[in-house]
Amino acid sequence: NVFCPRSSSVLEEQGSTNTEPQLTSRHISTILECLMNTFTRLSTKVSNTAPRPCTNMMYTVAQEAKIIINEPIEHTLRQTTKHDFLGVEYNMFPVAQTRLTERFLDRLRQARESLRGTPTMRDFLKITGRILYANVVMESLIFYSLDFYYMYKFLCRRVGTGLDTAARIWPSLVFRLQGILALLLKNEPRQWQIAAQAPSSLSHAALFTDASLEGYGAVLIMPDASLNVVAGKWTLGEKKIHIGILEAQAVPIALRNLTQLSLHKFDLWIDNTSVLGNLVLRNRYKAPPRSFEFASRVREIKTTEAWGNCGSVRYVPSDVNPADAPSRGFHVTWVPPESFASLFSNTSKIQRIR
């Protein structure tokens, strides 16, 4: 009854007069599937130790087929510690770690071998794509290095050439790519955890930064309501830099000059969404113009000594940012508006970074 109706329909479509059912691999697969469903249903009604022939046969066949029946799915999941998906190996126990799979590492080895020959533009695009994907998985600092800058620069200059023509990769870039691939092939596990979004302690200080084409400004409000201001003007050369980069450059200046930040926890308030996105999302950022210079400023922020005391990075509207006035060369005569107090209690605008 399991396979006869299907086999008969197949024979009728082929116009055969043979009434004997012909077993195919598809029919056998269907039979086994029905049998295993029957075994599963029986296992819920018959005890494992019941001396019934059907029970013994059921567990004998299941053992031969290497199938575990009558076992909670949670037990099976607890025994599974590693999961491979799209070139990523997720190791859940005892510590949550992420690393590249062996298959993806083989592709990186192939990329390294192709650099020793005469790679085409098609090969170079494959190498670039695999490096970018592996960098996101491992969260390395390749995006902030000169190696990535020159790789991207070469790609921009050669993108208009044919894919199967000789790439003529610069010898210095070949050396840099070899270094990147060697670093990724180490495949050192990266520990990770899910950070809950929560407000910082009310005892934290609040640091506001801002920049204009004229200068930079920073206002630090301590828990005791004392005020500290840092301000300065840009040089003629700095005034030619993109405003987004100047906004990022104002942050490390404030972190270095406000010595109180090395002794107190603080929350950083910024009115520039590009800087905010870079600091919160780490390597996954929306790159503004001159992204390499911007990434360098972000890296400078994260390597300052006071950055370790930063509890969260938050967005503050420009019209209520107290650092706006000193960045334009004005005195700080700032009075918090009524809506300003709600910013401190609005946890939906808080982005945890640690």
Do residues 333 and 228 both lie within one domain?
yes
| 3-state SS class at 25 | helix
Paired tokens of 304:
């300052």
Contacts of 309 (CB under 8 A, 6+ apart): 261, 262, 263, 264, 265, 266
CB atoms within 10 A of CB 71: 10
The pLDDT score that the predictor gives to residue 229 is 87
pLDDT over 60 at 271, yes or no: yes
The rounded mean pLDDT for the chain is 69
Residues 253, 125, single domain; the answer is no
One domain for residues 221 and 296: yes
Query: How far out from the chain centre does Cα 150 lie?
Result: 23
Task: Check residue 33 and give its pLDDT.
Answer: 58
> What one-letter code names the amino acid at 35?
L
Residue 81 lies in a domain: no
Closest Cα to residue 65, out of 43, 32, 31? 32
At which of 140, 159, 191 does a domain end? 191
93: Cβ–Cβ under 8 A, 6 or more apart, which residues? 81
* 103 and 136 within one domain: yes
How far is the CA of 95 from the CAs of 88, 91, 192, in angstroms? 16, 7, 9
SS3 state at 351: strand
Q: Check whether residue 344 and residue 212 sit in a common domain.
A: yes
Q: Are 68 and 118 in a shared domain?
A: no
| Rounded CA separation 332/323 (Å) | 8
Classify residue 46: in a domain, yes or no.
yes
Q: Are 139 and 182 contacting, i.e. CB atoms less than 8 angstroms apart? A: no
Residue 166 is given by DSSP the state B
Same domain? 57 vs 103: no
On whether residue 298 sits in a domain, the answer given is yes
CATH number for the domain including 213? 3.30.420.10
> What is the phi/psi pair of residue 207, to 5°?
-110, 120
**pLDDT tens-place string over residues 51-93:** 455 556 656 665 665 555 555 444 444 555 566 667 777 765 6
For tokens 């300003």, name the residue: 340
Q: Write out the residue range of the structural domain in which residue 182 sits.
A: 99-191
Asked whether residue 11 is domain-assigned, the answer is: yes
Same structural domain for residues 294 and 232?
A: yes
Q: Are residues 344 and 232 in the same domain?
A: yes
Is 314 within a domain?
yes
Domain end position, chosen among 163, 191, 219: 191
Residue 149, H or E segment: helix 146-158
Q: What is the pLDDT of residues 185-218, one digit of tens each?
A: 888 776 655 444 444 444 578 899 999 888 999 9
Residues 146 and 269 in one domain: no
The model's pTM is 0.41
Domain final residue pick, 19, 41, 75: 75
Q: Judge if 60 and 124 occupy the same domain.
A: no
Q: Say how many domains are in the chain.
A: 3
Question: For 98-129, how does the pLDDT look when each residue is reduced to its tens digit (9 = 90+)?
Answer: 788 888 888 888 888 888 888 888 888 888 88
- Do the domain assignments include residue 121? yes
Do 211 and 324 lie in one domain? The reply is yes
The single-letter code of the amino acid at 82 is K
Q: Is the dihedral of CA 168, 173, 176, 180 positive or negative?
A: negative
54 in any annotated domain: yes
219 contacts 326 by C-beta, under 8 angstroms = yes
Residue 90 included in any domain: no
The answer to whether 118 and 166 have CB atoms below 8 angstroms apart is: yes
